[in-house]
Structure 1
Amino acid sequence: MSLTNLETRLLAQIKSQPFATQKELGEALGISRASVANYVDRLQSKGLILGRAYVFAESPAVTCIGGAVLDRILRLDEYGIPHTSQPGTSSETRGGVARNVAENLAQLGEIVKLISVVGNDDAGRSVIEATAAIGVDTSLVERKSTGVTGTYTAIMQPDGELYLGVADMGIIDHLDAQVIDRDWQHIVSSRLVFADTNCSDSLLSVLIKRCLHNDILLAIDAVSIPKFRRLPNNLKGVEFLFCNLDEAKSVHGDVSPQALAQQLHLRGAKNVVITDGARPVTCLCDSGITMVQIPKTDIVDVSGAGDAFVAGFMHAILGEKDPIEATKAGVVAAGLTVQSEMRNSPDLTAQVVAQNAQMIEIQRT
């Protein structure tokens, strides 16, 4: 992020005198108080200071924007049969795409902030307290006095595959474009921003444009077929777009993963990653299209695997890996998660991901 000479001098002066008045700062630099106010606004817009008495941005974090919900998991004892009652077991845990990604990133050693909204209820308090305990900064999560914390109910087959998922996330509609203005100083200082399409279409559109204008790395996950359509047609400003094959087909037709990746790239997304269950991952980046193989894994539960993939991928990007190497890291993270009944595998560590990513095979097309 480039600074003018005067911005650099003012920033240094503020660091040495964080409680100085604007008049005192102006006298030290030989400029007017009004000029100081103008330059302070610029430094705030660049995310370098966060307010008075000038609070400096900490080490740049990853900011995750989107769903934080209570997950209810119903596991069928036998394969699902429509229109009838069936025996099974139930459990609850913390969930939500952005929240899951944030927790996984924290496990991988990243500094993470979460922007979301929950109800002022027991479920919301439980989800946020558990997330904060992992190391995620939840200070930007809004607690609404009206509405209830969102829920996602997953009905799982005996083999761990999803039979049906039902999302009750009306409260997430409050994640609109106003949130970008409210939290912009935190967003603009981020090393990377991640958003899921639980966010409103207005937020996604504004976020894409402002990240493009400010050269901020932005990653977006499509989440589901209906929510994928919340994205604007022009995706210029999206550095990394994640979706699965069914989601991509719902928008661009029943063609090959390679053709779908090209279509999404033509819409403006710079790098496109398309997953397809246990089949190879399609990664489109500057070097072309690469198919990344998925090792055979004993599946306990697929829930959370996509979120772990995104976190593993972004962790590698932050470690200055290219998108192909990042896809390998994502594959490893997802593989660890499907072997656990939890949304966030306790075995997910940066060391394990780095070691195992080297063994993932690729095929260039």
Structure 2
Amino acid sequence: MPKKEQLFELIRSNPFISQQDLATQLGLSRSAVANYIATLVRERRILGRAYVLPDHRPVLCIGAANLDRKLRTLGPLSLGTSNPARQAESFGGVARNIAENLVRLGAPAALITAVGGDASGRSLLAHADEAGIDTRGALRIDGAASGTYTAVLDHDGEMRVALADMAINDALTPDFFASREQQRAGAALIVADLNLPHDAVAALLEGARNDGVPMVVVAVSEPKIERLPQELYGLRLLILNEGELAARVGRKLANNADIARACEQLRKDGVQDVIVTRGAAGVSFTIPGGLSTLPPPRVNIVDVTGAGDAFAAAVVWSLYEGETDLARACRRGLELSAMTISCEQTVCTQPDFSRLDGFHEPLLTN
């Protein structure tokens, strides 16, 4: 086989391989490897410095992957005393959940996260690999504990309190992401959650803007909204809930008009579009000149864990598929979220595609 074709097959099997490794394996000089790569780029068989095959550009999910523990009381929750409960464990983390939802929806997904060298970390990556998520860009830290998320659910499936140990994600620094520049530049779309440090989110946004890669940020909690940079130029979409939106703008949001003004403030900060999840009130999203709202579908609540991540994943999937109608993307998000709430798993393993175009008409509220 000619050297150029051997090089192409090595890149196909490992898109993140360095030019030095290619040179060593093929017995070539670095300059010869660079010439072959330049030829493949001109032939459009790979896409530039990222060595990404044109039909394999993934959605790159960046953020938390952790072990979820869910404790569900057998009766109404009573504070200050012991409550009979049953426990379940599963794999979670906002970025990881979004990535798994995406591959189950048929989109290629890659995950950059940090895990410890413990059994939980090994299991997290093995499960992701088995699901079809590319984890080659993950950071593995020996001697560190992988992230955990413990949720206490009432007997009706509603979350009453959650405890998260996500300190390992502080290792996802701008310097680390510089080592994954090829992978980031070759993504079709980047999704980052706010379990990342502030400086890392800012660096990712700058890189996405420079590389021309659309980026979506998903908020995770009110305290962590401070990790969102003040300047958001180049950000395609921000997904957050009412409490996180209020924390970002620094004031209470009493009605739809307040929410609309807060979203407009975010747009002035640079973000193109904003989606605000509002629980029983549905979801609001920016449109030219204002805000539109969709009511949620009726749902039988089994377990609310993972519902927000499912919503975000369906919206991201819509963007990946080329959908330009944010209302339709939100309809899909509401439907996948409802499917997730109706099952015991954090990620709906068999999404009903016939439901993903929704059935709600957007209601202009401001």
Is the TM value for this pair above 0.5? yes
Q: How does 1:14-33 map to 2 (within 5 A)?
A: 18=8
* TM-score, length of structure 2 as denominator length: 0.84
Q: How does 1:152-171 map to 2 (within 5 A)?
A: 152-171=149-168
The alpha carbon displacement at 1:130 in A equals 1.3
The alpha carbon displacement at 1:135 in A equals 1.0
Identify the residue that residue 257 of structure 1 maps to in structure 2: 259
CA root-mean-square deviation: 2.8
The alpha carbon displacement at 1:58 in A equals 5.7
SS of the counterpart of 2:282? strand
Q: Deviations over 1:268-293 (max 9, x none)?
A: 11110000112121101446421011
Specify whether residues 55 and 196 from structure 1 end up closer, same or farther in structure 2 by C-alpha distance, changes over 3 A only. Answer: closer
Letter in 1 for 2:220: V
Specify whether residues 291 and 181 from structure 1 end up closer, same or farther in structure 2 by C-alpha distance, changes over 3 A only. Answer: same
Specify whether residues 16 and 75 from structure 1 end up closer, same or farther in structure 2 by C-alpha distance, changes over 3 A only. Answer: closer
**Cα distance in 2, alignment partners of residues 332 and 195 from structure 1:** 22
The alpha carbon displacement at 1:350 in A equals 4.0
Specify whether residues 78 and 60 from structure 1 end up closer, same or farther in structure 2 by C-alpha distance, changes over 3 A only. Answer: same
**Cα distance in 1, alignment partners of residues 54 and 322 from structure 2:** 22
Q: How does 1:280-295 map to 2 (within 5 A)?
A: 280-286=282-288, 288-295=290-297
Specify whether residues 57 and 74 from structure 1 end up closer, same or farther in structure 2 by C-alpha distance, changes over 3 A only. Answer: same
List runs of 5+ in structure 1 lacking aligned partners.
1-12, 23-32
Contact 2:118/2:143, CA 8 A, preserved across alignment = no
**Cα distance in 2, alignment partners of residues 251 and 165 from structure 1:** 21
Structure 1 residue runs of 4+, over 3 Å off?
13-19, 54-58, 285-288, 349-352
SS of the counterpart of 2:223? helix
Identify the residue that residue 221 of structure 1 maps to in structure 2: 218
**Cα distance in 1, alignment partners of residues 244 and 303 from structure 2:** 20
**Cα distance in 1, alignment partners of residues 54 and 142 from structure 2:** 30
Q: How does 1:82-101 map to 2 (within 5 A)?
A: 82-101=79-98
**How many residue pairs get matched?**
335
Q: How does 1:1-365 map to 2 (within 5 A)?
A: 18=8, 48-49=47-48, 59-252=56-249, 253-255=251-253, 256-286=258-288, 288-321=290-323, 322-354=325-357, 357=358, 359-364=359-364, 365=366
Contact 2:260/2:291, CA 8 A, preserved across alignment = yes
**Cα distance in 2, alignment partners of residues 59 and 360 from structure 1:** 33
SS of the counterpart of 2:80? coil
**Cα distance in 1, alignment partners of residues 120 and 224 from structure 2:** 24
The alpha carbon displacement at 1:160 in A equals 1.4
Letter in 2 for 1:337: T
Q: Deviations over 1:15-47 (max 9, x none)?
A: 79759x99xxxxxxxxxx69x67x95xx7xxx8
**Cα distance in 2, alignment partners of residues 283 and 224 from structure 1:** 19
* TM-score, length of structure 1 as denominator length: 0.84
**Percent of paired sites with the same residue:** 31
Specify whether residues 120 and 17 from structure 1 end up closer, same or farther in structure 2 by C-alpha distance, changes over 3 A only. Answer: closer
**Cα distance in 1, alignment partners of residues 355 and 135 from structure 2:** 26
The alpha carbon displacement at 1:196 in A equals 0.3
The alpha carbon displacement at 1:325 in A equals 1.0
Contact 1:108/1:348, CA 8 A, preserved across alignment = yes
List runs of 5+ in structure 2 lacking aligned partners.
10-18, 21-30
Q: Deviations over 1:171-224 (max 9, x none)?
A: 111111123211111111111100001111111011111211222100000110
Contact 1:57/1:189, CA 8 A, preserved across alignment = no
SS of the counterpart of 1:89? strand
Letter in 2 for 1:338: I
Specify whether residues 234 and 81 from structure 1 end up closer, same or farther in structure 2 by C-alpha distance, changes over 3 A only. Answer: same
Comparing 57-66 with 85-94, greater Cα deviation is found at 57-66
